[in-house]
Amino acid sequence: MTAIKHYLQFSDLTAAEYAYIFERAALIKKKFKAYEKHQPLADRTLAMIFEKASTRTRVSFEAGMYQLGGSVVHLTTDGSQLGRAEPIEDSAKVISRMVDLVMIRTFEQTKIERFAEHSRVPVINGLTNEFHPCQILADIFTYIEHRGSIAGKTVAWVGDGNNMANTWLQASEILGFAVHVSTPTGYEVDQDIAGLRSTDSYKVFKDPMQACAGADLVTTDVWTSMGFEAENEARKTAFADWRVDEDMMRAAKPDALFMHCLPAHRGEEVEAAVIDGPQSVVWEEAENRMHVQKALMEYLLLGKLI
Ligand code: CP
Ligand code: NVA
């Protein structure tokens, strides 16, 4: 039996596998836009487990799976036995006997790893405290659509050293680009948590303006991620200088793009003029979640088709 392919963090796939998935996502997107059926997952079922809120991840996986010919089961902590302390290992054994694929959004990465260890089917990370690989998959696909290969380019990360930052850094090691990271003191990226091989692909800047200088892409995220709400007030003070504004965008390359995984808070981590401005590609980014995840689900279940 071949090993099950899970997608728990960005480093689970190679550069060659990403090249294939991006090519496939472009084809799947083109067919979707032309109202052409693409149903390689007919009769397959995806279970989606949400232990945190979601709009994009829910809609993109659910709509995407139906479009591929399959169906979905939606579970939440409160509405299932997960909320009544059924062990994650037991849940994995049961759920994976009835479905073909599982997507999980949860808290600690160890939780999704334990689930995957006991699952008979591929498990996809729909966001954990540590990583958000499906989002970075969509972001890089969006970059490629607008500007071509991301290899050799510079991404400026302004804000929290969170799940999005960790995943950008993992991606930079695999796909050969640089990340300029600027976070407030106390909110730095932790190289071990981010699962990085070295510090070669990123540079840390105290001043967010310097991180943006000459960047090809400027990106940020909420100051307070899900699960950290108790820190909200302290974070508002600490992050006040880490708001992406028009001056930061001017410091970047003239054709730099702006990305945000959404949901966004205008006037906190980003100025309205930036997120609603001409360099912003946030809506394409959100839409592309669906196209890349369709390519990912197809790949995890069927392997390479071309
Ligand atoms: N970007 C993202 O994952 O959005 P949701 O939290 O709405 O799923
Ligand atoms: N860093 C954010 C991303 C939301 C999509 C969070 O974890 O809440």
Which atom of ligand 2 lies closest to the CA of 261?
A: 5
Active site includes 132? yes
Tens digits of pLDDT across the chain (306 residues): 578 999 999 999 999 999 999 999 999 999 999 999 999 999 999 999 999 999 999 999 999 999 999 999 999 999 999 999 999 999 999 999 999 999 999 999 999 999 999 999 999 999 999 999 999 999 999 999 999 999 999 999 999 999 999 999 999 999 999 999 999 999 999 999 999 999 999 999 999 999 999 999 999 999 999 999 999 999 999 999 999 999 999 999 999 999 999 999 999 999 999 999 999 999 999 999 999 999 999 999 999 998
Q: Is 269 in the pocket of ligand 2 (CB under 6 A)?
A: no
Q: Walk me through the domains of the chain, giving residue ranges and CATH numbers.
A: 10-132+288-302 (3.40.50.1370), 135-285 (3.40.50.1370)
> Would the pTM of this model clear 0.85, i.e. be above it?
yes
**How far, in Å, from the CA of 34 to the mean position of ligand 1?**
26
Contacts 24+ apart (CB under 8 A), 2-5: 4/116, 4/119, 4/120, 4/121, 4/122, 5/122, 5/299, 5/300
Residues lining ligand 1, judged by CB closer than 6 Å? 54-57, 127, 135, 261-262
Encode pLDDT of 70-89 as tens digits. Answer: 999 999 999 999 999 999 99
| C-beta of residue 157 within 8 angstroms of C-beta of residue 220 | yes
User: For residues 110 and 55, what is the distance between their CA atoms, to the nearest angstrom?
Assistant: 24
6, 9, 261, 279: which one is catalytic? 261
* Mean pLDDT of the residues in the chain: 98
Q: Give the helix ranges, DSSP H, for 99-132.
A: 109-117
- Predicted pLDDT at 158: 98
Mutate to test the pocket of ligand 1, among 49, 50, 51, 56 (most ligand atoms within 8 A of CB): 56
The question of whether 135 is a catalytic residue gets the answer yes
Task: State which ligand 1 atom lies nearest to the alpha carbon of 57.
Answer: 8
pLDDT tens digits, residue range 246-256?
A: 999 999 999 99
Q: Which of 132, 134, 223, 262 maximizes ligand 2 atoms within 8 Å of its Cβ, making it the mutation to test the pocket?
A: 132
Per residue in 196-254, pLDDT (tens digit) is 999 999 999 999 999 999 999 999 999 999 999 999 999 999 999 999 999 999 999 99
Q: What is the pLDDT of residue 1?
A: 55
Question: Which among 135, 170, 279, 293 is annotated as catalytic?
Answer: 135
Per-residue confidence (pLDDT) for residue 306, from 0 to 100: 80
Q: Ligand 2 centroid vs 226 CA: distance in angstroms?
A: 6
Q: Reply yes or no on whether 289 is catalytic.
A: yes
**Hey, what are 56's tokens?**
């994009």
